[in-house]
Structure 1
Amino acid sequence: MRPTALLPRVLVALAAAGPVAAGPALQATEPAFGWVPGVRLGGETVFDELNLRLNEAGGGASLLRFQNATADAGSTAAAQASGRLLDADARFTWSLEREAGPGLLDGLRIHQAIVPGEDFRRGDTVTRLLVPAGLVAGRPWRKGNGANEAGAFPESKPSDGHVLLEGSSEWIAWQLPDARWIRVRPDAPSVMRWQLQDNRVFDDDRFELQLYGRGGGGIAAAGTPIDVRYTIDLMDDAALQAAYAAPPEAPAVDRGPGVAMLVGEGPAGFRGLERLAGADAVADLVEFRIDLDADYQNPFDPEDVRLDAEITGPDGRTRTVPAFFQVGYERALRGDEEVLIGTGEHGWRLRFRPDRPGTHSLRLSLDDGENAVRSTPTTFHVDGPFTRAAFIRISPENRFAFATAGGEPYVPIGLNTAWPGSGGTHAYDRWWADLADHGGNFARIWLAPTFNRLGLERPEKEGVPSSGVGRIDQQAAARVDYLMELAEARGIRVMMCIESFGNFRSEASGSGQWYDSPYNAAHGGPLTRPQEVFTDAEAQRLFRNRLRYLVARWGHSTSVFAWEFWNEVLYTDGYEQMLPEITRWHAEMADYLGRIDPYDHLVTTSIGGSDVDPGIDALPGIDLTQSHLYGVEDIPAAIRSVAWSKAARFDKPHLFGEFGTAQDPEVVNEDPEGLHLREMLWSAIFSPTPGTAMAWWWDHWIEPNDLWHLYGPVAAFTDGFDAAAGELRQADGTGFAFLGPPPAPDPAVVSVRGGFKSWRPSPWNQPTTVDVHPDGGFEASNDLASVMHGANHEALRNPVTFNAEYLADGVFTVDVQAVSGHGGAHLKVYVDGTLRLDAPFPDPDGDGDAAAADTQPLEQHNGRYSVPVQKGAREIVVVNDGQDWMTLAYELEGVNLRQHPWLVAHTLVSDAAPAGTPAVLGWVRSREARWTNRLAGAEIRPCPASRLTLSGLRDGDYALVWIDTADGGRSGGGTVAVRGGTAEIDLPEVEVDLAFRLTAAPGAGPHRDSRSSGPRGRIP
């Protein structure tokens, strides 16, 4: 996921201003309720508005509401400026404090607070400072308090994004036309992070600085202030430059032991070995404290100091297990913010999870570059019980499915919980409890980039000894320690995402955080350009060191589902040009990790989107492939298409590591009932690798709307299904027929929407044929794209041909949703070879040269373009004869008269199902009850009772069980007889969906196998 700006709903506005010494003063008229429409300096507006926004979780009721005061007298805004507060919510009060004087650099110290009168579930708190673009466009900015970055505001509106800068404890300043500077200093205990954005991309001629308060999510207690504090300074150039050169302010939170604690002295040798975990000889995790002497400066660099254990088990097998250095912390809450307090404990640890009872031999080896020594062998005894058999593997019987090392099937059911807010690990106490209580067993976390409290590497900062490239942030590591213990207690497997593209993407408006990357030479790192991470020998050595630390500290955990090298490596700088080097990097890192991990965890990476890079995904060291999909309307069709095609292409498991309808939480929050989450969870189960699509927006959508209950029915449905017993397939054929007379002809629109967009070679960027059926279903020769390319990307040209039997005179419609600003497009529609629609979409400024033209999408061409189609078999071809791309969707009216059930069946068949376990899973859904239709309030016509026919099954008698998709309840459906490989199941009226399982009675014979080899699928 590419993190985007979160703009909560406007709920309350507060602001303050006061006099500033030296030169013209900051002036503002303060209405009675504390909101100012503008702040002026010597007649010049320097802030259009200062306000505080509080978002009630889930986009619920407003607390207090305002609108910007820019309208004429007599309007709502004018009424506000005179002191009226609109839509006040009596549950909340606000307060404002300000302070100005010596010691504050002649600045204004502002404290804005909202106090709830009752407990409520809160979202983000954001202070917005809006600056006229004309005041600062083209003028310099500075970022200080250790960041020491400089630049200039863009003169013109950006074409590819709106986020300019991001930070946390750093201050941000910009120069005014009179050469003085405005500086904003966030108060670290109350401000978690900030971002500066260019609102001109939204046709708002202002820049906006957003200060994000701490404590988003969870319950805000009555009477406890929710606040944001910051200081606005007015400074001359000399004072600003002095502040820019000054060292960063000391952190306010306890950082644990000083840097001396990370340094070792003396000749290499061992002083003692103490068994900690597993001391009672019944636990299968064994942990040792190792007391040693060695000469080193960085305990996280094995070239400086390396400590390994050779452990020989009762079976005679010897494993090499790396040890690690750690600093002890305890977690605590101060208000709603997690703080970590150093315990004073630090030193070397060894963790090991044996796979069998008995006596083990242990011998340590230590190398500090000057001396290499080995300890005298010692022994330890473990009796069990054992959970090592719970490590996740690829099933030996089904190369597309997962199982534990002990052979138990594992179907991942979960979501992303990539990073916490200010509550830190306490947030995971809630999230993972809710997930596990509803049958979930999978979560994905990120261990990067630097904004993440779980990020293991961050730029060097004074007072934080474990910061800096090549060092492991011990506060983050302590948090991960807690999370892995929590995961084991909750039965959750965790995909550990090690690195994200943001650290190696320079474009801040595209979620790049290169400016804050520890690998950046500006922070002491080895790289001058982000893309060098894949070729620079030192950067590769540092990444291998990080892998070693991961294996040493957390490799023992059975809750590690997989090591994931990258989140969306596609978005790193220079990806296309560096693809051979990136592929080689993955091969080398996978080989190294495989050699040092004694527990053989799965290894994966995510490229981004559902784009396929065969060089990376096909590597033997990559155990499973992934897709990240957003903006898909026909979720089941997209999931079915991608899952089966990727499994067939790479012959390995596949997961939807991220999934969502949008990359904007405001769009997602339009679906508070989780209609699209329900489709994501159910449809991904019917894949060669059964498991849910892993939803994004855990903290801004799933938790606030309490959507955890949607996981329970899926968990109940898959419970007892042995996906690992043998290769899974879909039923050879499915069909529906009404049980009674068909309803009267009633034309229904067949909507065909592609779920894929890419500007790279891919299965959907080639000519595609779509066969449309009279029941409203369709089959595509390739994955169907939503983007149709033009001459600018000749190799990606992807016209679409529709073959359809019109049962009545009707209409074919192209819904144009976006047109490229890099030269426009040209839509043509041919019916049976005759041009019936010719619609050019010109770009007013020509070919869209980014240096001279506006390249934003051309919204003036958006709309519906229709052609009449006569009854009969028709071939309809859609072509883009223009310069660049356009985004399209399609509708056919006259093909489906509702004379056939408007249902689609998803099936999963296990020919190797153990006796007494489900052999067939089925999910039947109404085509008309798609989440987009339900969300729009469209009339959903229930499909009358019908009969489902399945073919390609084993002959025999099967017990039918219905599963309620809303609550997971089960009810018996009698017996289904399969004869000649065919089963018939009578269905009740279906409004949305229903699910069923078939369990074979003893003695079911072999089915009539008409399958081709390998997985395959059909787009419904």
Structure 2
Amino acid sequence: MFYFLPLLLLFMTASPNTAIIITPNEHTFRVHQRAQWKILLPRDYANPFDPDEIAVDARFVGPDGRELVVPAFWFIPGRIESEPTTRVATDEQLRQASFTVRFVPPVPGAWSMMVKVRDTERTQRSAPIFFEVKPAPPGSRGFVRRSPKTSHYFQFHSGEPFFMIGPNLCWANERGIAQYDEWFEKLTSNGGNFARIWMSRPNQLFETKKLGVNRYDQDGCAFYDALFETAERHGVHCMLTFNNYRDLVDRDMWGPAEWPNIPHNAINGGPCTRPTDFINSEIGQKLYRNRLRYIVARWSAYTSVACWEFWNEQTFTNVDIPPAWTRDMARYLKSIDPHQHLVSTSFGANSQHEVWAMPEIDLAQEHQYFGEGVRDASAPISAMARSLWEKFDKPSLIAEFGIAGEGSDIKFDPDGIGTNMHNGMWASMMSGSAGVGAMWWWDNYIDPKNLWYQFYGISQFAKQIDWINQRFEPVTLAPIMSDRSQPEIFADLIIRSAGGWGKSHGKPIAVLPNGQTSLGLPQYIYGTEQPRYRTQTILNVGIPQPTKMVVRVGKVSDAAVLRVVIDGEPTKDFAFSGLPGAPGQTKVERHPEGKWQAEFHQDCELEVPAGKHVIELRNEGNDWLAIEAVTFRSARSSQYADLETYAMKNEASGDVIAWLHDSESNWFNDRAKKMPRTISGARLNLSVQSGKTYRIDWWDTWKGRVIESREITATGGGELQLEIPPVHRDIALRATRIGS
């Protein structure tokens, strides 16, 4: 809302004396419930949004002596609109303008409040106001926190675990708040509790070029007030993303971007002549801190806000955002936030591990899109989640995922089965994430295909787990054995690529006899012109008999040479060219950056002797090649069931939670109309505590219910020998020790 006022002045309606007038909105205060005070000052200010001109702060002192300082914000009643407007403020709206303080008391008892007002001439303090806070109402849980009991999970202020279950809901359609209300209802009725929300386009803005910098659109602010109130009503906890990378870009693959429209841009009267000035100039940083202050003042008192996120995919701003900037802004944000929300950011590619290691950052996260060459999300999601767990002693999340980043997953799943979404969520939960992988494509896939039910099964399982006390860690289980009454035969051992764009883990990949891997096989292998992404791709594999190894190359950029090195000896080279007319191409196109890229889907074959081998895949060309799969012909014994396992274990108790997945249950086979099979007669041996009795619950992951439960006592060698119920697509396991 852009108010046309004389000389762009915003006048306050205060009495002419020197008193600071403080009026509460309510007279009953409770723990975990938002309280609000209206503050009228004795004079007017040209720009009450500018804390250098006028800063109002409230100091609260609790019954235990704790002090919390809360910034106040300038408030004019706004009207919720789907787009910013250019509307003249009414007299009634101006009469209601004031500074406002929002605060959530964390403990009951006697509290006091004192207001400090600082302007360019002097500092004033009000007399203290005293009020009594009653205990929290039943079921109130407060804000989300990092758990003091475990470094990898979250909890509420009340002490209950908080395991994030939900998708991205970054913007709504033209229905705005009504659309969010509908989505939140669909999410929570299926057990969800989390959503990621943007404050950038295409969502509503509260900074506009019409208002300029250091002024905040009150219709846009009213939109977010209503959004977070709606989320609170439904029990949804949001990650609030301040900026999208497109805010600093003129144009990208999606078309015209936002840099020409933001108020900081010099063409709109702002102080920044280049996008880098937004980050690296003194005035750019000052304006960013001012914005953070307004965000904290206005929205930190909503318990539906779980996490602040500086950037969506800051890598793609094409601006150097140094780790020091993130550290300094996180420190400032925490210094002014009385409720100490979680703080994070995201990169999209080339994450800065230095940032994830910072104590100021509470959540490490990744985004992952695999492309059509990867048939299933399970392995890449698990590999990324486990990597975050191992590298950083803090909670982590796959905060975006999908099949392709260029368009809705509906084209890969036209029937709306949701298998990739399902698999990605279960794989992330069983690999150490603090929540399920957050699916992208909510408005053009999840909602139109009514895939909200996918949250139900996993939420019912997750709420049975005491995430903050169980001390679960990711583990690799022994391969699942098949029905041995059948004669042994050998089939192809297929390792499908499992990584997205960017630098891979670079660690040796152990290939189990059933074809499952300890880490994902990277999809992209980079050449000499991609040093920032280039790393080794090594397979440690045992081959029962002499065989052919087949590397299927899907796509190549510019020129690539696949070199296969076996046990340290270069064995064979395969050359590819992306230039038009090169042999073997099925499709060729020119990338916007100028390089030719071609699809091949070509098999590269070589002989491999029986035995254990260390096999390295290199790219001796200049750009990149994409691998679809590595196959060892007739190298997989039928003694191993075609079930992958993703598991977490409490080593102290022996408790295990696991997800067992038929590798043929994926979006690719769904699209091909291949009917899911049922795997029967499979057996799993679990290593637990010797002689202890465990309750074994088998779960239907799609319906969210236990389908079989029994008690089994471990052998003297500490092994549980489990017969797995028939598996149709996948099944989940919970093994819980009985007694102390």
**Contact 1:269–1:366 (CA under 8 A) maintained in structure 2:** no
The aligned residue for residue 703 of structure 2 is 967
Alignment of 1:745-756 (within 5 A): 745=489, 747-756=491-500
- Given candidates 336, 342, 346, the residue that maps to 1:606 is 346
**Contact 2:408–2:441 (CA under 8 A) maintained in structure 1:** no
C-alpha root-mean-square deviation of aligned residues, in Å? 3.2
The aligned residue for residue 336 of structure 2 is 596
How far apart in 1 are the matches of 2:98 and 2:433? 42
1:865 and 2:601 are equivalent in the alignment: no
How far apart in 2 are the matches of 1:717 and 1:622? 29
How far apart in 2 are the matches of 1:689 and 1:799? 26
1:570 and 2:318 are equivalent in the alignment: no
The aligned residue for residue 934 of structure 1 is 670
The aligned residue for residue 482 of structure 1 is 226
**Contact 1:303–1:368 (CA under 8 A) maintained in structure 2:** yes
How far apart in 2 are the matches of 1:647 and 1:737? 28
CA distance change for structure 1 residues 930 and 954 in 2, over 3 Å: closer, same or farther?
Answer: farther
CA distance change for structure 1 residues 837 and 340 in 2, over 3 Å: closer, same or farther?
Answer: farther
The aligned residue for residue 998 of structure 1 is 735
How far apart in 2 are the matches of 1:363 and 1:954? 61
1:792 and 2:529 are equivalent in the alignment: yes
The aligned residue for residue 775 of structure 1 is 514
The aligned residue for residue 262 of structure 1 is 10
- Given candidates 435, 459, 479, the residue that maps to 2:209 is 459
- Given candidates 385, 406, 428, the residue that maps to 2:136 is 385
Report how far residue 368 of structure 1 moved.
2.5
- Aligned to 2:228, the other structure's residue is in SS state helix
1:706 and 2:455 are equivalent in the alignment: no
CA distance change for structure 1 residues 333 and 879 in 2, over 3 Å: closer, same or farther?
Answer: closer
CA distance change for structure 1 residues 601 and 799 in 2, over 3 Å: closer, same or farther?
Answer: closer
1:826 and 2:561 are equivalent in the alignment: yes
How far apart in 1 are the matches of 2:697 and 2:88? 50
Letter in 2 for 1:544: R
Cα deviation 1:527-548 (Å, max 9, x = unaligned): 1110122221111111111111
Cα deviation 1:981-1001 (Å, max 9, x = unaligned): 322221123231111222322
CA distance change for structure 1 residues 687 and 357 in 2, over 3 Å: closer, same or farther?
Answer: same
- Aligned to 1:551, the other structure's residue is in SS state helix
How far apart in 2 are the matches of 1:521 and 1:968? 54
How far apart in 2 are the matches of 1:742 and 1:483? 59
Letter in 2 for 1:657: A
1:536 and 2:275 are equivalent in the alignment: no
The aligned residue for residue 987 of structure 1 is 724
Letter in 2 for 1:787: Y
Alignment of 1:821-970 (within 5 A): 821=558, 824-829=559-564, 833=569, 835-841=571-577, 843=579, 855-859=594-598, 861-869=600-608, 876-892=615-631, 893-910=633-650, 919-938=655-674, 940-953=676-689, 956-970=692-706
Letter in 2 for 1:908: M
How far apart in 1 are the matches of 2:565 and 2:493? 20
- TM-score normalised according to structure 2 size: 0.89
Letter in 2 for 1:406: S
Cα deviation 1:913-952 (Å, max 9, x = unaligned): 8xxxx94322111122233333333465533311111114
**Contact 1:747–1:896 (CA under 8 A) maintained in structure 2:** yes
How far apart in 2 are the matches of 1:682 and 1:852? 35
**Percent identity for Structure 1 against Structure 2:** 30
Report how far residue 424 of structure 1 moved.
1.0
**Contact 2:62–2:111 (CA under 8 A) maintained in structure 1:** yes
Cα deviation 1:815-874 (Å, max 9, x = unaligned): 2222213xx11233456646345334264699xxxx999834332655333345565555
**Contact 1:723–1:910 (CA under 8 A) maintained in structure 2:** no
- Aligned to 1:553, the other structure's residue is in SS state helix
Alignment of 1:549-698 (within 5 A): 549-575=294-320, 582-609=322-349, 611-631=350-370, 633=374, 634-671=376-413, 672-698=416-442
- Aligned to 2:290, the other structure's residue is in SS state helix
- TM-score normalised according to structure 1 size: 0.66
Report how far residue 602 of structure 1 moved.
1.1
**Contact 1:809–1:894 (CA under 8 A) maintained in structure 2:** no
The gaps in structure 2 that reach 5 residues or longer are: 583-589
- Aligned to 1:435, the other structure's residue is in SS state helix
**Contact 2:479–2:512 (CA under 8 A) maintained in structure 1:** no
Report how far residue 485 of structure 1 moved.
1.1
How far apart in 2 are the matches of 1:746 and 1:341? 77
The aligned residue for residue 35 of structure 1 is none
How many residues align structurally?
717
How far apart in 2 are the matches of 1:281 and 1:639? 42
Letter in 1 for 2:710: G
How far apart in 1 are the matches of 2:599 and 2:663? 31
How far apart in 2 are the matches of 1:854 and 1:408? 50
The gaps in structure 1 that reach 5 residues or longer are: 1-253, 461-466, 1004-1020
**Contact 1:357–1:383 (CA under 8 A) maintained in structure 2:** yes
**Contact 1:742–1:900 (CA under 8 A) maintained in structure 2:** no
Letter in 1 for 2:737: A
The aligned residue for residue 133 of structure 1 is none
1:757 and 2:501 are equivalent in the alignment: yes
How far apart in 2 are the matches of 1:852 and 1:740? 52
**Contact 2:528–2:620 (CA under 8 A) maintained in structure 1:** yes
How far apart in 2 are the matches of 1:954 and 1:308? 60
CA distance change for structure 1 residues 935 and 840 in 2, over 3 Å: closer, same or farther?
Answer: closer
**Contact 1:816–1:888 (CA under 8 A) maintained in structure 2:** yes
Alignment of 1:8-87 (within 5 A): none
Cα deviation 1:406-440 (Å, max 9, x = unaligned): 21111110111111121111110111110011000
**Contact 2:343–2:360 (CA under 8 A) maintained in structure 1:** yes
Letter in 1 for 2:303: T
CA distance change for structure 1 residues 770 and 322 in 2, over 3 Å: closer, same or farther?
Answer: closer
How far apart in 1 are the matches of 2:477 and 2:408? 40
How far apart in 1 are the matches of 2:153 and 2:29? 36
The aligned residue for residue 502 of structure 1 is 246
How far apart in 2 are the matches of 1:852 and 1:618? 35
Higher relative contact order (CA 8 A, sep 6+): 2
CA distance change for structure 1 residues 527 and 839 in 2, over 3 Å: closer, same or farther?
Answer: same
CA distance change for structure 1 residues 910 and 558 in 2, over 3 Å: closer, same or farther?
Answer: farther
**Contact 1:773–1:895 (CA under 8 A) maintained in structure 2:** no
**Contact 1:831–1:876 (CA under 8 A) maintained in structure 2:** yes
- Aligned to 2:76, the other structure's residue is in SS state strand
1:293 and 2:42 are equivalent in the alignment: yes
How far apart in 2 are the matches of 1:447 and 1:732? 40
Cα deviation 1:797-826 (Å, max 9, x = unaligned): 4453444444455432222222213xx112
Report how far residue 755 of structure 1 moved.
0.8
CA distance change for structure 1 residues 283 and 389 in 2, over 3 Å: closer, same or farther?
Answer: closer
**Contact 1:950–1:983 (CA under 8 A) maintained in structure 2:** yes
1:316 and 2:65 are equivalent in the alignment: yes
Cα deviation 1:1-48 (Å, max 9, x = unaligned): xxxxxxxxxxxxxxxxxxxxxxxxxxxxxxxxxxxxxxxxxxxxxxxx
**Contact 2:479–2:684 (CA under 8 A) maintained in structure 1:** yes
- Aligned to 1:937, the other structure's residue is in SS state coil
- Given candidates 92, 106, 121, the residue that maps to 1:370 is 121
How far apart in 1 are the matches of 2:601 and 2:642? 30
The aligned residue for residue 586 of structure 2 is none
- Aligned to 1:414, the other structure's residue is in SS state coil
Letter in 2 for 1:721: I
How far apart in 2 are the matches of 1:420 and 1:857? 37
CA distance change for structure 1 residues 941 and 705 in 2, over 3 Å: closer, same or farther?
Answer: closer
The aligned residue for residue 552 of structure 2 is 815
Letter in 2 for 1:382: V
**Contact 2:32–2:104 (CA under 8 A) maintained in structure 1:** no
How far apart in 2 are the matches of 1:322 and 1:312? 15
Letter in 2 for 1:352: F
The aligned residue for residue 11 of structure 1 is none
Alignment of 1:402-551 (within 5 A): 402-449=154-201, 451-453=202-204, 455-460=205-210, 467-509=211-253, 512-551=257-296
Larger radius of gyration: 1
